[in-house]
Chains A and B, each alone.
Chain A
Amino acid sequence: MALDTIVELKDATIFQGDHLVLSDVNIQLGKGDFVYLIGKTGSGKSSILKTIYGAVPLKVGTGHVGEFDLTNLKRKQVPYLRRKLGIVFQDFELLRDRSVNENLLFVLKATGWKDKKAMQERMQEVLEKVGLGTKGYKMPHELSGGEQQRVVVARALLNDPDLILADEPTGNLDPTTTEEILNLLYSISKTGRAVLMATHDYVHMKKFSSRIIRCEDNSVTTE
């Protein structure tokens, strides 16, 4: 693997259960990469994402996320792998019954943070990164759709991940807010991380033009 490579799938075949979804998958993402993953529903976009975050085992071919080997991934390792990743999904909702801060705290505790002061500092840091430095005390329903999605991005950044996986992150947002969230994710990739984003939004893909990986007819092409 090259020095700056964050995730790599090589000659991989991806199954969903016993059903072959994609074969000969070759994908490589390095620091600073912002890559779109496109294809029709059922073409295998989500299966690729799931393989990367360890929800679908990789049986044929090789794959790495950082130092994690996806082919020999043990069940016990999955939580550690996921700490390396930030996940921004359209339906990956915030917990409605608690404030923004408590949402973030929940994730920090679940990922093994103990030091209270360090947790407070980290929460403030990620909220400032997404422009919500003063809104940590608010409840999710008090925020706009765009702000809620910013909190989701902040939450994804908590463990300082090298890779951010995003699945239709702007699916429910208006065009202006979509641009803000896209610019946010785009600029995050330019801080030494990689962002892989599944999307259908061709208009905005043109505006934030970048590398595209297309899933079609059981195979993957890069353009």
Chain B
Amino acid sequence: MNEIDKQCLASDIDYEIVVMEDGSTKHLTDNASLSSLPNVRYISNQKNAGRAAIRNILADHAKFDRLLFLDCDSEIDQSYFIRRYLETKEVDVVYGGRKYLPQTDEDFLLHYTYGIEREAKDLNTRINDPHLHFQTNNFAIAKKVFQSVRFDESLTKYGFEDSLFAYDLKRHDITVVHIENPVVHAGLDRTDDFLQKSRQATENAWLLVQSGKIPAGEIRFTKKYSQIRKWQMQRPMAAVLSVYEPYFIAYLKKSEPKIIYLDFLKLLWSHRIVSNTDKK
């Protein structure tokens, strides 16, 4: 926060930083001190509005016509971070990327490995499929473009807000421009929490697919599962995977977790979710 404020001040621009608490009470006293900075507005929201709604509220509060969205667990380690975004102020949407610092603590290794293998994509991978590799942790957008799309607030559970927003941009034919301006993703989850969140995110993904908000082909495992289902292989697949389920989980907790085991788990979870909704 202080780093961003410092860089904005140095760039000699009109700016404001809006910080919003999303019903969490963990850092209230620390964060309250932010209000002492002249260009910071601190809003403590009592209820948890969800990740989609809170971003819309933030945008509604913003008074200038260009928005930079940053997740609260981002750290800035480059002195030209703000300047890079200022250089891109004429394009509609810019994504700067994310990176991870090496982790040694075993508790966080799964999230870290997943992060470097699946989320921190290099620039050339990102520009090959700009919408697929868009994430909402670190992006700049023209306010009027944001207001024409907005985050879908029917999403209140965790997961895939990014994919849905990116897909909506694509539908509106809004180009996502990628640059090399990553933030450090600092808020890693412990392996148990990460697995729990992945499970939740899998449910949310299927909610999105089944309600027709996003095609199955836009998310990795919903795409895979749909293919398997087309070949009618989902039951044998689930039978095999559920035998190995405890082993996958055990492996993911080890020191060199293989993300493919998480992929298998997601397919298995997908099967349970989809067959459950079929029954209903």
Contact (A179, B130) CB under 8 Å given A32-B84, A130-B124, A190-B181: yes
A208 adjacent to chain B (CB < 8 Å): yes
| Distance between Cα atoms of A211 and B83 in the complex (Å) | 17
Is the beta-carbon distance between B91 and A210 smaller than 8 angstroms?
A: yes
Q: Is there a chain A Cβ closer than 8 Å to B111's Cβ?
A: no
CB distance from B166 to the nearest CB of A (A): 15
Q: Are A187 and B91 in contact (CB under 8 A)?
A: no
Give the CA-CA distance A22 to B25 in the complex, in Å: 65
Q: Is A209 an interface residue (CB 8 A)?
A: yes
Given A180-B128, A190-B180, 15 more pairs with CB closer than 8 A:
A32-B87, A34-B87, A131-B123, A131-B124, A179-B127, A183-B127, A184-B123, A187-B127, A187-B178, A187-B180, A207-B175, A208-B175, A209-B92, A210-B90, A211-B90
Q: How far, in Å, is A18 (CB) from chain B's closest CB?
A: 39
Kindly list chain A residues whose C-beta atoms are within 8 Å of the C-beta of B91: 207-210
A190 touches B124 (CB 8 A): no
Give the complex CA separation of A189 and B87 in angstroms: 9
CA distance A162 to B228 in the complex (A): 51
Q: Chain A's nearest CB lies how many Å from the CB of B74?
A: 19
Interface residues of B in 111-144 (CB under 8 A from A): 122-125, 127-128, 130
Chain A residues contacting B80 (CB-CB under 8 Å) are 192
Chain B, Cβ-Cβ closest to A189: B87
Q: Which residues of B contact A120 (CB under 8 A)?
A: none
Which chain B residue lies CB-closest to A131?
Answer: B124
Instruction: Please name all residues of chain B whose beta carbon is closer than 8 Å to the beta carbon of A89 when the two chains form the complex.
Output: none
Query: Which A residue sits closest to B126, measured CB to CB?
Result: A183
The answer, among A131, A189, A190, A192, for a CB contact under 8 Å with B128, is A131
Q: A191 at interface (Cβ–Cβ under 8 A)?
A: yes
Contacts of A211 in B (CB 8 A): 90
- Nearest chain A residue, comparing its CB with the CB of B84: A190
Which 10 residue pairs spanning A and B have beta carbons closest together? A131-B124, A32-B87, A207-B175, A183-B127, A209-B90, A187-B179, A190-B179, A180-B127, A210-B90, A209-B91
Tell me, rounded to whole Å, the shortest Cβ–Cβ distance linking B11 to chain A: 12
Give Cα A112 to B128, complex, Å. Answer: 34
Residues of A18-57 at the interface with B, using a CB-CB cut-off of 8 Å, are 32-34
Question: A15 on the interface (CB 8 Å rule)?
Answer: no
Is B31's beta carbon under 8 Å from chain A? no
Contact flag A191-B180 (CB < 8 Å), given A131-B125, A207-B175: yes
Given A210-B91, A211-B90, A184 and B181 contact (CB-CB distance below 8 Å): no
Interface band, chain B: 20 to 34
Residues of A with C-beta under 8 A to B123: 131, 184, 187
CB contacts (< 8 Å) of B83 on chain A: these are 32
Interface size class of A (residues with CB under 8 A): 20 to 34
A-B contact pairs, 21 of them (CB 8 A): A32-B83, A34-B87, A131-B122, A131-B125, A180-B127, A183-B130, A183-B178, A186-B179, A187-B123, A187-B127, A187-B178, A187-B179, A189-B87, A190-B87, A190-B180, A207-B177, A208-B91, A208-B177, A209-B91, A209-B92, A210-B90
Collect the chain A residues with CB atoms within 8 Å of residue B180's CB. 187, 190-191
Interface residues of A in 127-141 (CB under 8 A from B): 129-131
Closest B residue, CB atoms, query A212: B90
Q: Could you say which residues of chain B place their CB within 8 Å of the CB of A186?
A: 177, 179
Give per-residue flags for A88-132: 1 if the beta carbon is below 8 A from chain B beta carbons, else 0: 000000000000000000000000000000000000000001110
Residue among B91, B124, B125 with the highest chain A CB neighbour number at 10 A = B124
Given the complex, which residues of B lie within 8 Å of A130, measured CB to CB? 124
Q: Which residues of chain B are within 8 angstroms of A190 by Cβ–Cβ distance?
A: 84, 87-88, 179-181
Chain A residues within 8 Å of B84, by CB: 32, 190
**Which residues on the B side are within 8 Å of A180 (C-beta)?**
127-128
CA distance A211 to B87 in the complex (A): 11
Q: How far, in angstroms, from A189 to B88 measured CA to CA in the complex?
A: 10
Would you give the shortest CB distance from A138 to chain B, in whole angstroms?
16
CA distance A211 to B3 in the complex (A): 29
List residues of B (27-70) whose CB comes within 8 Å of A's CBs.
none
Quick one: CB contact mask for B70-113 with A, threshold 8 Å, 1 for yes?
00000000001001100110111000000000000000000000
Residues of B within 8 A of A184 (CB): 123-124, 127
Please state if B177 and A183 are interface contacts (CB–CB under 8 Å).
Answer: yes
CB proximity to B under 8 Å, residues A160-190: 179-180, 183-184, 186-187, 189-190
Closest residue of A by beta carbon distance from B88 = A190
Residues of B close to A179: CB separation below 8 A: 127, 130, 175
Minimum C-beta distance from B230 to chain A (A):
26
* Closest chain A CB from B171 CB (angstroms): 15
